[in-house]
Amino acid sequence: MSHRSDPTPREHPDRILRARRLKPENTWDNSLDNFSDDVIDEGEDNAWADSDGRAESLYEELEIFPEQEVTSGFGNRYRWSIPFKTIIAVLAVGVVALLGLFLWNSIFSPDDPETVPLTTSSLALEDTEGASQKPVSESAGATAHSSASMSSVQVHVAGAVKRPGLYTLESTMRWGDALKTAGGALPEADLNRINLAQPVQDGVQILVPRQGEQIEAAPQAAQASKELAPSQQASSPGTTLINLNTATAEELEKLPRVGPKLAEKIIEYRESIGSFTSVEDLDGVPGIGPAMMENITPLVSVG
């Protein structure tokens, strides 16, 4: 058998296959195309028979893949190569998965608030509240009925008015409202002698005096005014008001909380200033404070 003078890797496919088993396929290049007779030993069968020895030494001598080899801690050589497109594809799949999960939760999640299961304690609380509300509503109705009955008062309007008589008024009304209800005052009425701003009280007589008419206050009325509470003392019968400029000590003593000593002080103060120009001048009398002024003012005049 004659020896070929110019063998190449293409003419020896078995050699190429054996050489490929020594390295990964993706690291194979065309360096084997440059093999020559000088590298491969004479005797084709003998040279390629020892594939674990001679062929490996050929790769080490040629150093076909020196820049692609990485030595691990165990002494084995590996080549790590992850394509960039693969990394992008994995990231894109993760983003799409997260987006799909978010859309799923937003579309199919229930909008109704969480239902809290009823317990025995909550049912008992509702029963207690329902039971407590019934008496309250019933008592409220009774209170409203009693309030409605107490919201109106009856007063007797007499004197210089067009239609004197007994009238039922609201408890929030004033003496002036009572006069309007009675048709208004007559032309000869002396309205300066009564307090039109005084609140109405049940069972009170509102007597409108005529000009120059002297009306004596009923003794029982004066006594009742002294016994009333401070907020009710102004509701004494609307008879003649006490004139501070002409009243005697005995007349001043008819006022609530006014005794002989305080009556004398009022007269002394009146003489010192000449005369009272308004009811508010009583504030200058020693012994008369704001509380007493509130009680006396509706019962006196200066005209």
Q: Quick one: pLDDT at residue 179? A: 92
State the average pLDDT for the chain.
Answer: 69
Cβ atoms of 50 and 17 closer than 8 Å: no
Residues in the chain: 303
pLDDT tens sequence across 169-180: 998 999 999 999
205-234 average pLDDT score: 58
d(CA 145, CA 147): 5
247-255 average pLDDT score: 89
**Looking at the predicted structure, is the pLDDT value of residue 71 above 80?**
no
Cβ within 8 Å of residue 183, ≥6 positions away: 161, 162, 163
Flag the least confident range among 28-37, 201-210, 286-295: 28-37
d(CA 200, CA 175): 6
249-256 average pLDDT score: 88
Backbone angles phi, psi at 204, to 5 degrees: -95, 140
**Looking at the predicted structure, is the pLDDT value of residue 28 above 70?**
no
**Looking at the predicted structure, is the pLDDT value of residue 259 above 70?**
yes
pTM, rounded to two decimals: 0.30
| Domains observed in the chain | 152-208 (3.10.20.600), 242-301 (1.10.150.320)
Pick 76 or 300 by higher pLDDT. 300
d(CA 295, CA 228): 10
How far does CA 197 lie from the centroid of its chain?
42
d(CA 201, CA 241): 17
